[in-house]
Amino acid sequence: MRTLLFSLLLVGCDVATQQTRRTFPVEVVVSAPTAPLETGWMVTDLTGSMPLTELRFYEGRVLVARWSPMELIISTAHAHPGHYVPGSSMGEVLVPLELDLSKRDVVPWGEANAVTGSYGSARLGLGTVRLRGTAVKADQTIRFDTGPLTLAAPLEGIRFEHEMDTSSGRVRLEVDLGVLLSRIEFDKHGSSAGGDGVITFDPASVAFNGFDRGVTDSGSYRFTWQPN
């Protein structure tokens, strides 16, 4: 009898927090810097690839810190090292996509298997990322190759706040190369040019360090809901 009562209570709870299964498309667009970076470097002729291996949405919301005049987006849902708790999983795209970083058009990624509810953050899996281009600052021109960067784990805690219902629309991921490149000090590459004039960053260099930190900066990725 007590088991039955407990089961009925569970049913009641289920009704109260009911979620509806749904799918929605996820698309990706790459935006490149159109002005000098904050380091003063102007970067052009960008090519490269960013393999997107997985995308998961979670309910855990992120912390948005506003520091006047600059807004910081600080995105640890439970901002405690080792205690990151993204909460319940709300949706996922597990089909990989090789993202061409030289293209600026919107690329369909895949259909997310998801549920309705309150979304707060996303986790993005990346394969080996590599960029090439030309960086110019004052009288310096550097044709660079970042070399390959492979992350040990997916990027967690990227902000995506949306009350997902059954309405029609899609999620857009914007990869902002302006933010991603903004920490690179291109002249601190720790290497010398190859026969083709291209300098490949030494993996131990300050330049590669900045590349690594730009790729892992959650500000390089923006998720938005695009209603149809």
Partner 1 sequence: MRNTLLFAALLTITACEPPISVVKFTTWGEDFIETGIPADKFEDGWSVKFSRFLVVLRDTAIADTTGAVGAQQPGAKAFDLVKKGPVEVFAAAAPGKAWDVVRYAIAPDSNADATNIEASDLALLKSRTASLIAIGTGTKAGVTKSFEWSFTSNTLYDACERAGGGGKGITLVPGKEVMVQLTVHGDHFFYDQLSGDAKLRFDPIANADANNDNKVTLDELATVQLTALPQGQYGTTGAANIRNLREFITQNMRTVGHFEGEGECTPKSR
Structure tokens at 228: 């149809």
Applying the rule CB under 8 A, the residues between 91 and 130 that interact with partner 1 are none
Among 27, 42, 53, 78, the residue binding partner 1 under the rule CB under 8 A is 78
Among 11, 79, 94, 193, the residue binding partner 1 under the rule CB under 8 A is 79
10 binds partner 1 (CB under 8 A): no
59 vs 100, beta carbon nearer partner 1 = 59
Looking at the chain, list the stretches that DSSP marks H as alpha helix, in order from N- to C-terminal side: 2-16, 177-180, 206-215
Minimum CB distance to partner 1, residue 124 (Å): 10
The Cα-based distances of 176 to 49, 138, 167, 219 in angstroms read 13, 24, 27, 8
137 binds partner 1 (CB under 8 A): no
24 vs 223, beta carbon nearer partner 1 = 223
Among 42, 63, 106, 107, the residue binding partner 1 under the rule CB under 8 A is 63
3-class DSSP state of 179? helix
Among 29, 46, 73, 106, the residue binding partner 1 under the rule CB under 8 A is 73
φ and ψ at 9, to 5 degrees? -60, -40
The Cα-based distances of 15 to 22, 141, 189 in angstroms read 17, 63, 58
Minimum CB distance to partner 1, residue 31 (Å): 15
| Cα–Cα distance measured from residue 165 to residue 65, given in angstroms and rounded to the nearest whole number | 27
Task: Compute how many other C-beta atoms are within 10 angstroms of the C-beta atom of residue 7.
Answer: 10
Minimum CB distance to partner 1, residue 92 (Å): 18
Contacts of 106 (CB under 8 A, 6+ apart): 27, 28, 29, 172
Among 9, 10, 11, 65, the residue binding partner 1 under the rule CB under 8 A is 65
Question: How many residues touch partner 1 (CB under 8 A)?
Answer: 42
Applying the rule CB under 8 A, the residues between 150 and 209 that interact with partner 1 are 153, 155-159, 179, 183, 185, 204, 206, 208-209
Q: How far is CA 118 from the centre of its chain?
A: 19
The residues that touch partner 1, with contacts defined as CB under 8 A, are 60-61, 63-66, 70, 72-85, 153, 155-159, 179, 183, 185, 204, 206, 208-210, 212-213, 216-220
